[in-house]
Amino acid sequence: VDDALAAVTLSAGAEVLVRTMRKSGASCYLISGGFTAITGPIAARCGFNGDHANILDIKDGRLLGSVTKPVLDANAKARFLAHYCAELGISAAEAACIGDGANDLPMLQTAGFGVAYQGKPLLRQHIALQLNHTDLRGLLFLQGYHEEAFVSG
């Protein structure tokens, strides 16, 4: 797990996007079909409010090759969106979500500001708002932010 975490490269602009949104009062959550052993440190580094992902089964410090049920899938991502919208007292139409894979489709279709970031072909077919040629800071420009307002690491 440590080797996998060391090999992770954040998407360019991720830290600036999350920190700028948080400074502006937004709540930001990392919801991933990956693993908490990876998403937890990434969420902390970027400044997310929290993260949700699959939990690797480990016994005596060794990976067992399985994950704790239930598996975080496309439907779970959409449920987390609904959960946080309810918790924050906003509608899904007021929520922004970013994703790149097929398991993000229901969540992106539900959010009022659902963005396919360098999305896989399925997302490119179904999600109108796409960011394909710039880093994640492009989402700040899309919302009307000026670069002077960006919060860096």
pLDDT, one tens digit per residue, over 43-84 is 999 999 999 999 999 999 888 999 999 999 999 999 999 999
The residue type at 82: A
pLDDT tens, position by position, 87-115: 999 999 999 999 999 999 999 999 999 99
Q: What is the CATH number of the domain that holds 117?
A: 3.40.50.1000
Total number of domains in the chain: 1
Domain enclosing residue 79, as ranges: 2-149
Residues 6 or more apart in contact with residue 139 via CB below 8 angstroms = 17, 96, 98, 115, 117, 131
**C-alpha to C-alpha distance for 71 and 60, rounded to whole angstroms:** 22
Q: Using a cut of 0.85, tell me whether the model's pTM lies above it.
A: yes
DSSP 3: H
**C-alpha to C-alpha distance for 99 and 133, rounded to whole angstroms:** 15
What pLDDT sits at residue 7?
85
Tell which residue, 30, 26, 49, 47, has the closest CA to residue 38.
30
